[in-house]
Chain A
Amino acid sequence: MASKTYLVAEREFLDNVRTKTFWLGILSFPLIIVLAIGVGWVMQSTKKLQQYAVLDFTPSRIGARIEPEARQRDLQRALEELLPKPAPAGAAGPGTAEPEAPTPPPAEPTLAQITANLDEVAKRLDAGNPLRDLITRLQKEPELLQQAARAAQSGKLHELPPALLATVTDWATSMSPEQQRNLRAFVSARRYHHVSLEELGVAGLQPAEQRRKLNEMVNSGRLFAYFVFDNDPLRFDETAGPADPRRPADFVYVSNSLTDEDLRDWYAGAATQVLRKLRIAKADIPPQRAAWIQAAVAFQEVQVDTTGETKAVDKTDKGNKLAPVAFVYLLWIAVFTAAQMLLTNTVEEKSNRIIEVLLSSVSPGELMAGKIWGIGATGLTIVGSWVVFGVLGVWVAPKLVPKFGEYNLLAIVGDPLYLASFVGYFLTGYLLFAAILVAIGSVCNSLKEAQNLLQPVFLLLMIPLLAMVPVVQEPNGLMARVFTYIPLYTPFAMMNRASGPPPAWEYALTTVIILGSVWFAFRAAGKVFRIGVLMTGNPPKLKEILGWLKEK
């Protein structure tokens, strides 16, 4: 009688769903994620201001030239957010270009294009974002704007035209410290602070005395670190190659914080830029040639679509490839949570003896099915809530952090293939593991006993998690295929491969396999449940359980 199964299922469902703890548990899930992100962000943004000093003993006073360069790099980053990225060079591709031939000039963007692009960017920015101010300033001077666009197009933002640089610097200095702090590009401005030697009261002292005093300051925490330029990095030594380990260090970094290397890296990056520029100038290499030598390898990502044509990779596709990882992870948590609930519930019902009353009204099969469906519905409620949270999350996230917008997460989360796979594979995966766990639960008298028996099942469940990344990298590879045809892992593997996606015949075959396995598991679990659920005393041996399976 299906109606009794329904009654049991309804009770199980309501019993769980009515409790406050159940909803707290559901709510806590996105809350924990938000908290984890939030804590990381807060920790990042509350990091102490790191004060540093520079001791420069070089004749060329190289240290003094690094500071402005470092700040200018920050400006560049601000500009990069605004201006169009260098367009891919088209079908010719950089690889086919003759090394000596000058790169063909990229198509010049029209002023209208740039303006439209800026408008697009401005729309994504909050009202208080200082970048808006910069956009307004730039739009007042189309000439400058075109220059900037040209620089961006050719990837030469590090060589901003002086007039443009002046405008940007002007804008940057006009910003309040508050605004600077709000701008992501100026992250270094609020993190690292240069303190002059005069301020520290060590100017004009003997070098040894200076070092001793700065060391004291590092120890006392007054300074986070200081840099020393002893050797002139511009002196060219013919005898030592650049990779020679005997080459003296260009500068010394003195700090007691051995793990936080952000300041060192930020400063070293700027120093490299400056040194490179000065060395090129010293070696008498024309700047254009120097730029060509220094240019990093540029490559273009394309993918082959179903028609055999290549098309450019957009970020949605990338997100798409990675999405199944998130889905598999959630699937795993959901299946495991629900199956665990079922186990606990069965053992409890058995240990408080209510099971016998139920068995006088319903058959063991009806009882088992009722419990599995009831808890399954509970699990679906959890999954459903997560989907709601997820959709809300990807809808809200781009508004808070514009970068997420590029991935078009909503399209991924809302992808019917993913959603259908998720719900479908949750159900089948749950049913499969539920059958195993309900059988385990039925032969145990206490949760402790059940936990012991659960260990191997848990290990079995871990495997698809470990295999997740290799499978997503190669959705139709050998490993993915092998996992697909192990019934316990079929739901996880197929979810994992959804980005492939696998051919239709594989969907059909695995559906047959998994439904068959569920049917088989239910039959076997039914037999164990029928006998096990009324047993008391020691849990049966595996041999005995196998014996029950043979009974009709």
Chain B
Amino acid sequence: MDHALILRSVTKRFGSFTAVDGLSLEVPVGCIYGFLGQNGAGKTTTIRMVMSIFHPDAGSISVLGHPDAQEVKDRLGYLPEEKGLYKKMKTAEIVAYFGRLKGMDGSTANHKARELLTRYGLGDWLDKKCEAMSKGMGQKVQVLGTIIHEPELVILDEPFSGLDPVNRDTMRDLILDMKRQGRTVIFSTHGMEHAEQLCDYVMMIHKAKLQFAGTLAQVKQGRDLGIQLDYDGDGTVLQRLPGALRVNDNGKHAEIYLQPGTDPQQALRWLVERVTVRRFDYREPSLHEVFVRTVEEANEQLAAAGLGR
């Protein structure tokens, strides 16, 4: 088994609305795979189909080598986008409960739950009720509930949303730990920096259709190089840079894409005269840029198709 997950032309419709349209995807075993896309693009629907909460209208899904995810449900872990816990249950109880639902026996689940919670800094909360916890802690508890049964494939829907930097690091470590243990991790995110730092592979859906999929290098290949600029000074002048195609100005940092044939050296000289340059990189585009450009291109295509009709 080389692939933890294979989707073939998977389509899901809700009434007249097509949520996922002919999606094909392969997720190799032991990788971290990022699902990207705007809100409502179809990421969650795809994940739900993988978890066999929804059934595709067309196409096939193979999870851990099985055509039906129901058969391997106990070998999957799933953290949904909307996180919730039973308020009245104690932390260790609820983690153990999730484990038992995945087929662990009672005492093993209890033992494992307490061990996991202690290991990830919640040792003081073992016998406290979930309602007393902060959002970040609750999310941690839920992730632990997702992985307590040591699943081979873990799917996390927006695991980083709403977490502070410290908890984000904990979450990142958790994901990396799982990869080290040979598990496959799929997560969806809006944070491009997380995808860029963590993922071996990424894919992007826009309006139900797959836009790209592959390793980060593959995804960025063929895209225009761009200037990564850290600067101090008045950023409005950046917009007047001769030969600039697009400027993403963040105030202290800017991404600048040049028209084909423009010399970056010249751009640097022009910039040095106008702002204080602290760092100048001419390199492959960021995932953020790829994402935004892909959305724009896809929308243009759709608009063109709409006009042509």
Q: Do A and B come from one complex?
A: yes
What residues make up the interface of A, taking CB atoms closer than 8 Å to B? 4, 7-8, 11, 15, 19, 349, 352-363, 534
With the chains together, A534 CA to B81 CA distance in Å? 12
Per the 8 Å Cβ criterion, residues 58-83 of B in contact with A are 70, 73-74, 76-80, 82-83
List 27 A–B pairs whose Cβ atoms lie within 8 Å, in order of A's numbering: A4-B101, A8-B101, A11-B86, A349-B84, A352-B87, A353-B82, A353-B83, A354-B84, A354-B86, A356-B53, A356-B78, A356-B80, A356-B82, A357-B80, A357-B142, A359-B53, A360-B51, A360-B53, A360-B73, A360-B77, A360-B78, A360-B80, A361-B73, A363-B70, A534-B48, A534-B53, A534-B54
Q: Does A11 lie within 8 Å of B97, measured CB to CB? A: yes
The 0/1 profile, CB within 8 Å of A marked 1, for residues 214-244 of chain B is 0000000000000000000000000000000
A24 smallest CB distance to B (angstroms): 16
Nearest to A535 among chain B residues (CB) is B14
Chain A residues, CB < 8 A from B146: 357
Chain B residues, CB < 8 A from A8: 101
B98 close to chain A: CB less than 8 A: yes
Q: Does A361 lie within 8 Å of B101, measured CB to CB? A: yes
Q: Does A362 lie within 8 Å of B70, measured CB to CB? A: no
With the chains together, A442 CA to B149 CA distance in Å? 28
Nearest to A547 among chain B residues (CB) is B15
Task: Known A360-B73, A363-B70; judge A15-B101 contact (CB<8 A).
Answer: no
Q: Does B51 lie within 8 Å of A359, measured CB to CB? A: yes
What residues make up the interface of B, taking CB atoms closer than 8 Å to A? 48, 51, 53-54, 70, 73-74, 76-80, 82-89, 97-98, 100-102, 142, 145-146
Q: Does A15 lie within 8 Å of B100, measured CB to CB? A: no
Task: Known A15-B86, A15-B89, A534-B53; judge A357-B97 contact (CB<8 A).
Answer: no
Chain A residues, CB < 8 A from B48: 356, 534
With the chains together, A8 CA to B101 CA distance in Å? 8
Task: Known A4-B101, A363-B70; judge A357-B78 contact (CB<8 A).
Answer: yes
Q: Does A357 lie within 8 Å of B53, measured CB to CB? A: no
With the chains together, A354 CA to B101 CA distance in Å? 13
With the chains together, A352 CA to B79 CA distance in Å? 14
Q: Does B86 lie within 8 Å of A358, measured CB to CB? A: no
With the chains together, A11 CA to B100 CA distance in Å? 11
Choose one: B70, B84, B97; the contact of A353 (CB below 8 Å). Answer: B84
A20 smallest CB distance to B (angstroms): 12
B108 smallest CB distance to A (angstroms): 14
Choose one: A7, A352, A353; the contact of B101 (CB below 8 Å). Answer: A7
Nearest to A530 among chain B residues (CB) is B53
Q: Does A354 lie within 8 Å of B53, measured CB to CB? A: no
With the chains together, A426 CA to B100 CA distance in Å? 31
With the chains together, A359 CA to B101 CA distance in Å? 10
With the chains together, A348 CA to B76 CA distance in Å? 26
- Identify the 7 closest CB pairs spanning chains A and B, nearest first: A353-B82, A360-B78, A353-B84, A352-B84, A361-B101, A356-B80, A354-B84
Chain B residues, CB < 8 A from A356: 48, 53, 78, 80, 82
Choose one: A7, A15, A353, A362; the contact of B80 (CB below 8 Å). Answer: A353
Q: Does B88 lie within 8 Å of A360, measured CB to CB? A: no
Chain A residues, CB < 8 A from B70: 363
Chain B residues, CB < 8 A from A361: 73-74, 98, 101-102
Q: Which among A352, A361, A362 has the greatest number of chain B C-beta atoms within 10 A?
A: A361
With the chains together, A361 CA to B72 CA distance in Å? 10
With the chains together, A362 CA to B73 CA distance in Å? 8
Task: Known A363-B70, A534-B53; judge A357-B88 contact (CB<8 A).
Answer: no
Chain A residues, CB < 8 A from B98: 357, 361
With the chains together, A87 CA to B70 CA distance in Å? 77
Nearest to A8 among chain B residues (CB) is B101
With the chains together, A4 CA to B102 CA distance in Å? 8
